[in-house]
Chain A
């Protein structure tokens, strides 16, 4: 690989957002945003799936693990699923995944589910910009920094009573 293989994370931190878009609504919408020349933040990387129902929570975790600072899930509006109900399955998983991530100390804003219809190019633009801004505020996701209380808020960096070189907060 070339040397410039990763974004400089620095004063101008560029969030890395993986977007899983369903082929029929949200992917088409982002095509429409393109054909309509709606410019928006360049931080998302769209991965096309046929239906939001194909989005396995494992993908979301893998993305975060591999360095994504956020994950955006996009599907058809309720009732509009090209496959009748895939988006509802996505919704069900998302609701539970949210609970898990919160418990593990991952901020709400980092994983987002949006219903975006084929005609809503402007929503792709709006949602993307919004999310990029939110995550810019949160800063990069550093999994090593996550010890949590069960209620999910990140634990304060512990003043280690046992002064030894290797110690740090558990993650």
Chain B
């Protein structure tokens, strides 16, 4: 009798995850454990480094969202050296940041999470990738995706120094000015980006929303959790990726808390489990009640779906329309269906594109004064941004020379860890019965967390490493009874 199912490791996410499904004697799921098996200790070896290097060192936590870490650190540096970011510097940061959010969301939709929908969850494995997507949407559209990302990333490279591990962020602003010519290019690219955003949403409508089966997945119990949601919002409680206040809404969608990054310690604690390297953040004011949903459990979610749930809308018109369409279709706020995250992501993608355009058109974008030189003695600084995968906290303490003495990072996927664990458990319970385990089911289990676009590289500040999915089924005596591949 099958007792123990291992999915190790999970593919097409940045980072390393592991799922253990343990069955009971009836073949039902006893518990599915979602494990993250690595740790790198960035926080430790940041100690002794000059504070300004944190922006470049922490970006190496994740090569997929280096900009998020770079920017969170840069904002923490502003705070640390008690210097306002120069307005032009802020615009330059924001253009790059929205550009990054845009292309990263595109990466996930078309390369990582998308295939499940665009190609189909049970499609042959050789097609469940970008090439499959291209096959589905046509080479022209495929090239369009690639070209779009290239354009944005090349532009960011020019402005930020590098796209993979940027260098431009400094306390008080950025290192490099934007020329008038570059501004023109930025405007052009931003315009393409907006079109691309609309194109992608249309693609979603045509290929996913039009497909009854997929919509069922999205709304099915297996992919639904009533939890708290957190995200950055601007002064109008609209979604903002770069800056703002942190807003938390309860499972009914009512504002539960709104706080400044400096209060994160009051709001968030990290719970430790002996079976995973990842720590599980929860709302301190509610408390840790285990992997439970509902308003009495401190478990909360971040990332696109959460950001939409935690906000009152988008700050840009086209995205706002999409926002409304989203909630109308799915029955109002908040939406608890994990798989709706993919849709939310495309709405953010469009919003990011629109913001890029606004910024690029701003005359101050090419200003001379890009950075304020700090004069204060550094001591402690915190910074927060909305990484594509959710809220990202950087917190540093230094000596008077600005040498780091303490670094604490709470990263996007980590904030989702508890909910991901629950999703996986729930998906497994729903999908696996009588010990019947097959690849299709397992991929759908995987979809449960892939929706979060989890980055365990980030989450554990660990060393991501990917392996094909293998399922090992153990009998009652833990002897390997059967090995299943996720083959068609």
Contact = CB atoms under 8 A, between A and B. Distances in A.
B328 to A, nearest CB: 51
Interface string B388-410: 00000000000000010000000
Interface string A77-96: 00000000000000000000
A151 B403 CA distance: 11
B47 interface: yes
Contacts of B332: none
Nearest to B45: A150
A129 B23 CA distance: 72
Nearest to B403: A150
A149 interface: yes
Contacts of A103: 48
Interface in A139-171: 149-151
Contacts of A150: 47-49, 403
Contacts of B47: 150
Contact of A149 (B48, B49, B403): B48
User: Majority SS of interface residues in chain B?
Assistant: loop
The SS class assigned to the A binding surface is loop
Contacts of B49: 150
Interface string A110-152: 0000000000000000000000000000000000000001110
A149 B49 CA distance: 11
B43 to A, nearest CB: 14
Interface string A2-24: 00000000000000000000000
Contacts of A151: 48
Nearest to A148: B48
Interface residues of A, number: 4
B278 to A, nearest CB: 16
A151 B48 CA distance: 8
B50 to A, nearest CB: 11
Contacts of B403: 150
B39 to A, nearest CB: 10
B422 to A, nearest CB: 27
A149 B47 CA distance: 9
B404 to A, nearest CB: 9
Interface in B11-49: 47-49
Contacts of B48: 103, 149-151
Q: Which of B47, B48, B49, B403 has the most CB of A within 10 A?
A: B48
A116 to B, nearest CB: 36
Interface in A23-80: none
Interface in B33-70: 47-49
Nearest to B48: A150
Nearest to B49: A150
A160 B49 CA distance: 25
A74 to B, nearest CB: 32
Contacts of A149: 48
A155 to B, nearest CB: 11
A103 to B, nearest CB: 8
A148 to B, nearest CB: 9
B52 to A, nearest CB: 16
Tell me which of A149, A150, A151 has the highest count of chain B C-beta atoms within 10 A of its own C-beta: A150
Interface in B95-127: none
A150 B50 CA distance: 11
A105 to B, nearest CB: 12
A150 B398 CA distance: 13
A151 B401 CA distance: 14
Nearest to A103: B48
A95 to B, nearest CB: 18
A27 B111 CA distance: 66
Nearest to B41: A170
A103 B403 CA distance: 14
A16 B403 CA distance: 36
A42 B47 CA distance: 42
A150 B404 CA distance: 10
Nearest to B405: A150
A103 B48 CA distance: 10
Nearest to A150: B48
A150 B403 CA distance: 10
A149 B48 CA distance: 8
B199 to A, nearest CB: 49
A151 B404 CA distance: 12
A117 B81 CA distance: 50
Nearest to A151: B48
A103 B45 CA distance: 13
A149 to B, nearest CB: 7
Nearest to A152: B48
A145 to B, nearest CB: 19
B44 to A, nearest CB: 10
A97 B453 CA distance: 45
Interface in B390-444: 403
A24 to B, nearest CB: 40
Interface of B: 47-49, 403
6 contacts: A103-B48, A149-B48, A150-B47, A150-B48, A150-B49, A151-B48
6 nearest A-B pairs in the assembled complex, by CB-CB distance: A150-B48, A150-B47, A149-B48, A150-B403, A151-B48, A103-B48
